[in-house]
Amino acid sequence: MTFFKRYLLPRIIQYLVVIFIGTTVVFVVPRLMPTDPIQQTIERVTMQGTYIDPDAVEELKETLKELYGLKGTLFEQYAIFWKRLFRGDFGPSFAQFPTPVMELISISLPWTTILLLLTTLLSWVIGNILGGLAGYFSHYRWARILEGIAMFIRPIPYYIVALGLLILFAFIFPIFPVVGGASIGSEFKLSWNLIIDIIEHAFLPALSLIIVGTSTWFITMRLIVSNIVTEDYVSYAQSGGVSNKEIVFHYVIRNGLLPQITGLALSLGQIFSGALITEQVFSYPGIGTLLYRSISTGDYNLMMGITILSIIGIATGVLIIDIVYPLFDPRIRYE
């Protein structure tokens, strides 16, 4: 009972407050945009050469307001918004009317989840291990070389790395496909050919994210370890004849991972917003590409759906880490 009152309950309340405030901001901000989605929908219809009677236009506007959740005062729209949200209904997409927002997200989310989940975990593991080793063995030449490479890569925007890989391995050396998540006309039935095809299309986007992500985790871990190696318990272990392998993996890296675990939770939560520019560079059919299209077309139902899922994802990641953190750090207790 003490655990629930003093530890779990405050964090659940904080979790709900963060989601409530973030969701409210997401509701308000698109309504400050100068674009009128209803007018844009009518213009798209008329541009196709369809004549609409003026009286029918007014009826269409009222119908669209109800469909888009724009009917009534701002407070009434806000109440309708929350009712729909509890049902998991973000309304129809403006640009791809009448397709529901959740249907579009459910199509794109698996692509981004596979891409970002694997690249985030791989870059986190590789970056932390290499950063821990380079921080402890900082006097070795290979450690300085690794640090120099990471310091060179880290300031480069990941979309520049993506463009470089695209030019090198898709145009100069045409090894991998240029764009897309799978070959055109692929039949999505579980088979080795489909799996290999998806891997080939995802390789370059994944590689660009892993290269930049690994360098970021490497530098962070290297800085953390540079402080840990000066601690008394490390010096005591060294003077006591404990092997370097034991010290690195059981004392140095293990303690250095504590702040990195929090960073990992935040990174995993961002899967719901996608790798926007990388997905655009490779025309990868993920959430990032979907978000870009929603912004460019003023489709704020879709924007709100993606952003709210991202907020919930990040907040949930932080909550999970708060709950399980005492398992990693014995200095923190539930009581």
**Residue position matching structure tokens 């409530």:** 20
> What is the rounded average pLDDT of the residues 175-202?
70
**In 3D, which of 147, 129, 127, 28 has the Cα closest to residue 81?**
28
Percent of the chain with pLDDT over 90: 0
Distance CA(110)–CA(123), nearest Å, equals: 20
Residue 12 corresponds to which amino acid?
Answer: I
> What is the rounded average pLDDT of the residues 152-162?
80
Cβ–Cβ under 8 Å, residues 243 and 173: no
pLDDT at position 171, please? 79
Percent of the chain with pLDDT over 70: 76
Write out 199-228 in H/E/C secondary structure. HHHHHHHHHHHHHHHHHHHHHHHHHHHHHH
| Encoded tokens for 178 | 């240029």
101-328 adopts what CATH topology? MetI-like fold (1.10.3720)
Q: What is the pLDDT of residues 103-144, one digit of tens each?
A: 888 888 888 888 888 888 888 889 888 888 888 888 888 888
Distance CA(220)–CA(129), nearest Å, equals: 11
For residue 185, pLDDT beyond 60: no
Q: What is the pLDDT of residues 214-252, one digit of tens each?
A: 888 898 888 888 888 777 777 777 787 778 788 888 778
| Encoded tokens for 166 | 């695209």
Q: Is the dihedral of CA 214, 217, 219, 225 positive or negative?
A: negative
Q: Show me where the domains of the chain are located.
A: 15-86, 101-328
pLDDT at position 34, please? 66
CB contact set of 306 (below 8 Å; sequence gap of 6+):
105, 272, 273, 274, 287, 290, 291, 294
CB atoms near residue 189 (< 10 Å): 7
Cβ–Cβ under 8 Å, residues 98 and 66: no
Residues in the chain: 335
| Encoded tokens for 307 | 């952003």
Distance CA(160)–CA(122), nearest Å, equals: 20
For residue 48, pLDDT beyond 70: no
Would you report the helix, strand and coil content of the chain in percent, each value rounded to 5?
75, 0, 25
Distance CA(34)–CA(41), nearest Å, equals: 15
Distance CA(254)–CA(259), nearest Å, equals: 11
Q: What is the pLDDT of residues 262-281, one digit of tens each?
A: 777 777 766 655 566 777 77
| Encoded tokens for 309 | 């899922």
> What is the separation of C-alpha 120 from the centre of its chain, rounded to a whole number of angstroms?
9
> What is the separation of C-alpha 190 from the centre of its chain, rounded to a whole number of angstroms?
26
Buried b (16+ CB within 10 A) or exposed e, 103-126: ebbeebbebbbbbbeebbeebbee
| Encoded tokens for 234 | 């490390």
| Encoded tokens for 64 | 């669209």
pLDDT at position 67, please? 67
pLDDT at position 45, please? 62
Residue 155 corresponds to which amino acid?
Answer: P
Q: What is the pLDDT of residues 292-334, one digit of tens each?
A: 777 777 777 788 888 888 888 878 877 887 777 666 665 665 5
Beta strands per DSSP E along 34-171: none
For residue 283, pLDDT beyond 70: yes
For residue 92, list its beta bridge partners: 100
pTM of the model: 0.74
